[in-house]
Structure 1
Amino acid sequence: MPVEVRDLPVFARRLRFLRERAGLTQRELGRRIGMQENAASPRINQYESGTHVPRLETAQALAKELKVPVAYLFADGERLARMILAYSQLSAAEQEAILREIERGNRVG
């Protein structure tokens, strides 16, 4: 019985989503982060199936290639993941202003 996408670990789900959104095959993504041609597709497949979790350095390379913060790949809730993406797209000044608000304990919005 195949595993449902929603039942996969967070990292696996997000990696697959981002790769497909970028229009890349597993082999292409692996090659772009420096994996050997013959190992690229099987290794990315293992990450997307939840069989293996990559080392931090590999996760960082994947995130950089897919243009997201590495924390997005591991965030354990959808709201937090969305916040990470939104925050990462702000300017440094905007990030600082939001951080100050949060640290003061004020609600944003």
Structure 2
Amino acid sequence: RLSQPPSSSTCNSNPASSAMIQGNSESFQNNSANNENSKGNSSSTWKQTPGVHTVKQSMKEDQFYMKKIKVMSQHSSNYRDQTVAMVKTKVIRQQVAEAEVTHMRTK
């Protein structure tokens, strides 16, 4: 909640707090002027640190990607095994078919 300047505040009668408010507003104005002057200088620009939500979201994404990679590697392994098994069964079926053909020719 933004505090109002001491001149318009009716409930703020403490001189120490009004001086603190004036000091805060002066430092804010000085920082604004400094930021406007330093916009061209990229090394002095201030970057906001990521918030808690952003950090948690990135952690969730990392965990999701790790799980995805794990599932994909298992799937590719299973797929590889299935492909090898299918090739073996194909070879066996071809051998059986050839044996049946040779058996039929000998009769």
Bigger relative contact order, structure 1 or 2 (CA pairs below 8 A, ≥6 apart): 1
- Report TM bin, short chain: under 0.3
TM-score (norm 2): 0.18
> Which structure would you say has the larger Rg?
2
